[in-house]
């Protein structure tokens, strides 16, 4: 009987969590997807690349909502059970409150493991795949971005201006400015032209014009009747170098291993490891903060589950009983905010670092002992 009661309770929490988390994740994803429209409008990528890129952001969004949504799920379900007197079923079946709290703590371990898997493996991998896809993709939306009497600069070191863009695809009076090495540039002027796709790459076939090469020392011009200008040599303006959140978790640990061993974890230090592309020229602070988000933040899932579970302990004060639910909710939200604010003090000193790393475990232990005392002696707070 007790197993059936706990099974229904856990399924109610999980169902509410899935509905709430997917809803919130989808809303945030839609907002971010709108912000990423610049991949098409400004950077010249296709709709296929755009949807692939934004879809790979879903694991990241979901992982960031887990702690908050899990707290809301437990808080809502316990409050619902209290309002409908369903919690009495637990007590009438001889289930002590501490066992009820222990069950919630065990359930939160599953969500802790889920979040660690997402943070350490799934999210970095998906973010890296998205960046690689952008990096290796062609500017295959470029023809649709070119319009009459507008300077188009969706790719690095290249500006294109077209006086007239006919419906048959013919371009008239074309101006191209390509930046070469430092102090050097190439200007191409053509009477007409057409964008052609060749071997999955775009070329600009130009007719009747001239190429002017400009440098600090001299300038010379070559005339042509027809020439092909290869657009595949240019890369998108989208940032294509790897960010810290896209790096493998084990690589990040290797990056700061020496600093941890020697207790010289200065956040402003620049890592100088030319043999390691993942670490070289990055700040210790940025890598350490990323590791904190991946390894330490998920453990706050345990403490916020205990805070939500403390709804079963009623206050002695009649005045506080009116605000019991609000007090518990505010405490939970405060702990979630604390987990984020801890980053602000990260790496100010090695002592603060150790304090922040041990904070979630300390809070779990202290709060559990308090709940154990209150349930064992059947106390109400205040």
Dump pLDDT digits (tens) for 122-160. Answer: 999 999 888 777 765 655 556 656 778 888 776 677 888
Question: Token pair for residue 308?
Answer: 């939500």
Average pLDDT over residues 203-211: 90
Instruction: State yes or no: pLDDT of 316 exceeds 90.
Output: no
What distance lies between CA 153 and its chain's CA centroid?
A: 28
d(CA 223, CA 213): 12
**pLDDT confidence of 382, banded at 50, 70, 90?**
very low
Span 320-334, mean pLDDT?
87
| 275: pLDDT strictly greater than 80 | no
**What's the pLDDT at 240?**
47
How far, in Å, CA of 45 to CA of 141, rounded? 5
Q: Compute CA distances 209 → 158, 163, 165, whole Å.
A: 18, 14, 17
Judge whether 93 and 2 are in contact, CB under 8 Å: yes
What is the mean predicted confidence (pLDDT) over 72-99?
A: 92
Nearest to 188 by CA among 225, 171, 213: 213
Contacts of residue 100, Cβ cutoff 8 Å, sequence gap at least 6 = 90, 309, 312
* Token duo for residue 95: 């289930």
Q: Is the pLDDT of residue 233 over 70?
A: no
* Residue 257: pLDDT over 50: yes
Which H or E run contains 82? helix 58-83
Provide the residue ranges of all domains of the chain, joining segments of one domain with +: 2-136+241-376, 142-230
User: How much is the average pLDDT of 32-37?
Assistant: 82
For the chain, percent of residues with pLDDT exceeding 90:
41
pLDDT > 50? residue 101: yes
- Residue whose C-alpha is closest to residue 53's, from 238, 223, 206: 238
Sequence-distant (6+) residues with CB within 8 A of 63 are 115, 118, 119, 122, 123
Nearest to 298 by CA among 155, 170, 109: 109
Residue 344 CA neighbour count, 13 Å, CB half: 5
**Among 299, 329, 298, 317, residue whose Cα is nearest residue 65:** 298
Please state, rounded to an integer, the average pLDDT across all residues of the chain.
Answer: 83
Q: Are 292 and 88 in contact (CB under 8 A)?
A: no
- In this predicted structure, which of 81-85, 91-95, 229-233 has the lowest mean pLDDT? 229-233
By C-alpha distance, which of 293, 172, 154 is closest to 237?
A: 154
Cα–Cα dist 160/154, whole Å: 9
């Amino acid at each position: 009987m007790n197993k059936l009661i706990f099974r229904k309770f856990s399924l109610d929490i999980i169902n509410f969590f899935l509905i709430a988390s997917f809803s919130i994740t989808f809303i945030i994803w839609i907002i971010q997807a709108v912000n990423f429209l610049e991949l098409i409008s400004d950077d010249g990528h296709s709709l296929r690349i755009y949807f692939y890129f934004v879809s790979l952001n879903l694991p990241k969004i979901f992982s960031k909502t887990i702690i908050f949504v899990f707290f809301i799920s437990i808080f809502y379900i316990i409050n619902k059970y209290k309002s409908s007197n369903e919690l009495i079923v637990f007590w009438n079946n001889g289930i002590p409150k501490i066992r009820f709290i222990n069950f919630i703590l065990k359930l939160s371990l599953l969500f802790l493991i889920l979040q660690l898997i997402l943070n350490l493996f799934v999210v970095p991998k998906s973010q890296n795949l998205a960046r690689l896809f952008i990096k290796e993709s062609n500017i295959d939306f470029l023809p649709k971005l070119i319009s009459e009497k507008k300077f188009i600069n969706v790719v690095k070191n290249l500006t294109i201006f077209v006086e007239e863009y006919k419906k048959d695809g013919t371009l008239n009076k074309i101006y191209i400015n390509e930046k070469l090495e430092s102090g050097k540039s190439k200007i191409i002027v053509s009477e007409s032209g057409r964008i052609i796709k060749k071997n999955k790459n775009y070329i600009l076939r130009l007719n009747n014009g001239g190429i002017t090469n400009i440098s600090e020392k001299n300038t010379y011009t070559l005339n042509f009747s027809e020439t092909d200008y290869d657009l595949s040599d240019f890369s998108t303006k989208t940032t294509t170098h790897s960010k810290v959140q896209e790096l493998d978790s084990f690589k990040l640990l290797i990056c700061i291993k020496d600093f941890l061993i020697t207790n010289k974890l200065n956040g402003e230090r620049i890592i100088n490891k030319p043999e390691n592309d993942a670490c070289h020229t990055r700040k210790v602070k940025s890598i350490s903060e990323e590791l904190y988000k991946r390894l330490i933040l998920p453990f706050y899932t345990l403490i916020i589950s205990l805070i939500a579970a403390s709804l079963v302990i009623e206050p002695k004060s009649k005045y506080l009983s009116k605000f019991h639910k609000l007090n518990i909710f505010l405490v939970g939200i405060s702990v979630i905010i604390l987990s984020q604010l801890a980053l602000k003090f990260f790496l100010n000193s090695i002592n603060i670092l150790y304090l922040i790393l041990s904070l979630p475990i300390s809070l779990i232990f202290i709060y559990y002992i308090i709940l154990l005392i209150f349930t064992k002696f059947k106390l109400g707070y205040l």
